[in-house]
Structure 1
Amino acid sequence: MSAPDARKDIRKVVLAYSGGLDTSVILKWLQTRYGCEVVTFTADLGQGEELEPARRKAEMFGVKEIFIEDLRETFVKDFVFPMFRANALYEGQYLLGTSIARPLIAQRQIEIAEAVGADAVCHGATGKGNDQVRFELAYYALKPDVKVIAPWREWDLTSRTKLLAFAEEHQIPIAKDKRGEAPFSVDANLLHSSSEGKLLEDPALPPDEIVFQRTISPETAPDTPTEITIDFLHGDPVALNGETLSPAELLTRLNRLGRDNGIGRLDLVENRFVGMKSRGVYETPGGTILLAAHRNMESITLDREAGHLKDSLMPRYAELIYNGFWFSPERRMLQALIDTSQHSVTGRVRLKLYKGNIIVQGRESPNSLYDTRVVTFEEDEGAYNQQDAQGFIKLNALRLRLGAQIGRRGGAL
């Protein structure tokens, strides 16, 4: 007996749709292979592209329900800022710009699917990358019984040539620069731009300057530094140069400042969750500035052990986001701890931006734990008794002294 055809159960699908070649092919492929109604969802996360062409193209395919939503403020407030409270860096370098965008897209897809009565959701991620994992883990966390369609794991359009042939056969408009092999692929949002593939696949070669879209070269940045202030309230940035701004507005301004000063470039070979290494070139101008400012704000407002505990948990937190576990219970637990640590992280940081560098000029907070009476090399008026250090040192040296005595008697250390 042959297995039942799962396609018969799919009547309506919500597709994460950009309007580009790949998702346009997917849209038509869903209509022809599944014979289902397709609902398109296009999220404006600050990628810097005009989104109305996506609407027009969807209408051309006969799509009746088209969702195009500006999610920039939600993206920064509810996803980017919570992540930055943790100072999250994957493998010590990557600011997770692509990773943090996927759970929001997936969340909104599921919400739309439930609102329109769709049977399934669909994404355009390939079978080699991390994004398929991120999308689908989020889908299942939010709607455990959801049906997921991943065309790149199903179809036989296994090359750019076949993709273009399908597009031409079905009269799908193809931008001229999409004919043939693209020099590299790009993913962008308000936090970053990511480039990978093709001319970037050899990690021994430096990226060509044409790869960079969000920043100017540090060498060509102005010879005059730019000085700025960032104000924080409970761990989140709230004002730039004394002007209170919304989360998305603030990150947009920081992006411009970072771009104009050549800040935020990263050439990285990383370990994908699916098991392979990949080389990516990332630009995160505003985020790079924000990370430096936030760490300096924490330096005077966080207790030592609280800060060290938070730093020790950061790699695990970053890995959870990179691997797609934003909606997992362990990420939520870590977030609760991180957010608790931020209650006192309020104040102002002064920075100088200069040719790719972020130079701290000062930091101040009403909650500062830095006490000049204690640290001064002048008379401290009895705030600190230096003689107390003797007992402190002896107690901490006790185990070392005992170990050394055993060692002298020939015992193992």
Structure 2
Amino acid sequence: MSKDIKKVVLAYSGGLDTSIILKWLREAYDCEVVTFTADLGQGEELEPARAKAEMMGVKDIRIEDVREEFVSDFVFPMFRANAVYEGVYLLGTSIARPLIAKRLVEIAEETGADAIAHGATGKGNDQVRFELCAYALNPAIKVIAPWREWDLQSRTKLIEYAEKNQIPVPKDKRGEAPFSVDANLLHTSSEGKVLEDPGVEAPDYVYQRTVDPVDAPNEPETITIGFEKGDGVSVNGEKLSPAAFLTKLNELGGKHGVGRLDLVENRFVGMKSRGIYETPGGTILLAAHRGIESITLDRGAAHLKDEIMPRYAELIYNGFWFAPEREMLQALIDKSQEYVTGEVTVKLYKGSAQVVARTSPYSLYSEDLVTFEEGTGTYDHHDAEGFIKLNGLRLRTFGARKAKFGF
């Protein structure tokens, strides 16, 4: 172990794993540990984390409410891109990691710490995300990943270590935990144990943020979402802060069973994994954002956004939030949102979020152009003949050769 590490900033949840890491860091590195716990809207009381850190002798305990920053500076920019990984995943875990890494690096600089540490395992994506983000922000930062260093590679060994060092072990950790949960204001993610076989349907008790669509209200609920330059700003006419906006959509979506996803995804580290995701507010926001873009974006701009979206989503999933290519794409995306302002009406019913109306002062939609009735004459039907002949020229040439040679 490095002897020049005297102080470490640990991403600390107060759970069993990070509490063990806290003790292990002191033993392995003989260093002071500063704990950082982020309130990302995970819905848990965070003061027990403070109490546990105090009990373990930590002098510098940081617990921060970063919900507004999370939504305004990370979630909203991502949703301007309509980003989904592998066609369906709304990146709820992925987008939280850059903010945590950013604060770890900043606190390390504030406190004069020599390193940061995280509790991500050696099999997952989070180790990559934390560390790539940290290195982008501070190229000289040292990162300690205990799961890649210690020999505590089983739940039994972790519990034995905890009991040996008088670290409280929650009762539900003494047996086989049914699954692992990660949550924030955007989503809830459940993985492992009872969910590891993708051929078996997930038990009902896995879902925590949404009701079963079968049990959702039998009457649809219609809501109106306001946008300004691509970001959600109001629900049913009420102006809300970014975090309050997403919280409200979560409540509405959860009640109607919106945003459930059972996914087998391709991890960046090379393996496939199965996860159950609940993103009620995000699912509504994505539908509504695409709805307002449908009348405010030019066709070329809209199609270009759709072309680059998978690349943008993959960058976030893989941990490259602070990479120059992500920032370049963000500049393009943000430019496209200058006129994405207006209101979208969404109908929520039995797990679905359906756009049913959209209006904008900057709408490109022209009833005069698309009407089946007689318009004002701004569109000349005869122009279509030349347009079709020019676009069909190569096809006629290709067809002539095929007719001549038979293949």
Shorter chain as denominator, the TM-score bin is: over 0.9
1:358 Cα offset (Å): 1.3
Match of 1:151 in 2: 146
1:175 Cα offset (Å): 1.1
Match of 2:350 in 1: 355
Equivalent position to 1:403, from 388, 398, 407: 398
Partner deviation per Cα, 1:189-223 (whole Å, 9 max, x = no partner): 00000000000000011100100000000000011
Match of 1:265 in 2: 260
Could you tell me which amino acid in structure 2 is paired with residue 87 of structure 1? Answer: N
Alignment of 1:23-62 (within 5 A): 23-62=18-57
1:33 Cα offset (Å): 1.0
1:408 Cα offset (Å): 2.8
Alignment of 1:319-358 (within 5 A): 319-358=314-353
1:309 aligns with 2:311: no
TM-score normalised by structure 2 residue count: 0.99
Match of 1:209 in 2: 204
Equivalent position to 1:183, from 165, 178, 183: 178
1:181 Cα offset (Å): 1.3
Equivalent position to 2:227, from 229, 232, 235: 232
Match of 1:290 in 2: 285
Q: Distance in 2 between matches of 1:160 and 1:217?
A: 32
Could you tell me which amino acid in structure 1 is paired with residue 55 of structure 2? Answer: M
Q: Distance in 2 between matches of 1:232 and 1:277?
A: 36
Match of 1:173 in 2: 168
Alignment of 1:55-70 (within 5 A): 55-70=50-65
1:78 aligns with 2:73: yes
Q: Distance in 2 between matches of 1:243 and 1:223?
A: 26
Query: Match of 1:8, SS?
Result: coil
Structure 1, unaligned runs of 5 or more: 1-5
1:402 Cα offset (Å): 1.4
1:174 Cα offset (Å): 1.1
Query: Match of 2:3, SS?
Result: helix
1:178 Cα offset (Å): 1.3
Q: Distance in 1 between matches of 2:165 and 2:186?
A: 35
1:410 Cα offset (Å): 2.3
Query: Match of 1:186, SS?
Result: strand
Could you tell me which amino acid in structure 1 is paired with residue 47 of structure 2? Answer: E
Alignment of 1:12-31 (within 5 A): 12-31=7-26
Query: Match of 2:347, SS?
Result: strand
1:411 Cα offset (Å): 8.5
Equivalent position to 2:90, from 80, 95, 110: 95
Alignment of 1:123-134 (within 5 A): 123-134=118-129
Partner deviation per Cα, 1:47-77 (whole Å, 9 max, x = no partner): 0111111111111111111110000000000
Match of 1:381 in 2: 376
1:372 aligns with 2:367: yes
1:7 Cα offset (Å): 2.0
Equivalent residues of 1:161, 1:180 under 8 A apart? no
Q: Which moved more, 1:54-63 or 1:283-292?
A: 54-63
1:357 Cα offset (Å): 1.2
Q: CA RMSD in A?
A: 0.8
Query: Match of 1:7, SS?
Result: coil
Query: Match of 1:214, SS?
Result: coil
Structure 2, unaligned runs of 5 or more: none
Query: Match of 1:25, SS?
Result: helix
Q: Distance in 2 between matches of 1:107 and 1:144?
A: 13
Q: Distance in 1 between matches of 2:349 and 2:372?
A: 33
1:405 Cα offset (Å): 2.0
Could you tell me which amino acid in structure 2 is paired with residue 48 of structure 1? Answer: G
Could you tell me which amino acid in structure 1 is paired with residue 233 of structure 2? Answer: V
Match of 1:242 in 2: 237
Q: Distance in 2 between matches of 1:361 and 1:276?
A: 40
Q: Distance in 1 between matches of 2:104 and 2:52?
A: 19
Q: Distance in 2 between matches of 1:271 and 1:224?
A: 37
Q: Distance in 1 between matches of 2:399 and 2:376?
A: 39
Equivalent position to 2:116, from 116, 121, 128: 121
Q: Distance in 2 between matches of 1:199 and 1:339?
A: 41
Partner deviation per Cα, 1:114-134 (whole Å, 9 max, x = no partner): 000000000000000000000
Q: Distance in 1 between matches of 2:294 and 2:102?
A: 35
1:226 Cα offset (Å): 1.0
Query: Match of 1:401, SS?
Result: helix
Q: Which moved more, 1:265-274 or 1:174-183?
A: 174-183
Partner deviation per Cα, 1:85-105 (whole Å, 9 max, x = no partner): 000000000000000000000
**Which runs of 4 or more aligned residues in structure 1 lie more than 6 Å from their structure 2 counterparts after TM superposition?**
none
Q: Distance in 2 between matches of 1:64 and 1:359?
A: 51
- Percent identity between matched residues is 72
Could you tell me which amino acid in structure 1 is paired with residue 37 of structure 2? Answer: T
Equivalent position to 2:313, from 309, 318, 321: 318
Q: Distance in 2 between matches of 1:350 and 1:56?
A: 45
Query: Match of 2:405, SS?
Result: coil
1:303 Cα offset (Å): 0.3
Match of 1:3 in 2: none
Query: Match of 1:409, SS?
Result: helix
1:360 Cα offset (Å): 1.9
Q: Distance in 2 between matches of 1:147 and 1:218?
A: 46
1:183 Cα offset (Å): 0.5
Match of 2:104 in 1: 109
Q: Distance in 1 between matches of 2:209 and 2:401?
A: 60
TM-score normalised by structure 1 residue count: 0.98
Partner deviation per Cα, 1:13-71 (whole Å, 9 max, x = no partner): 00000000000000000011111000000000000111111111111111111110000
Aligned residues: 407
Q: Distance in 1 between matches of 2:309 and 2:342?
A: 22
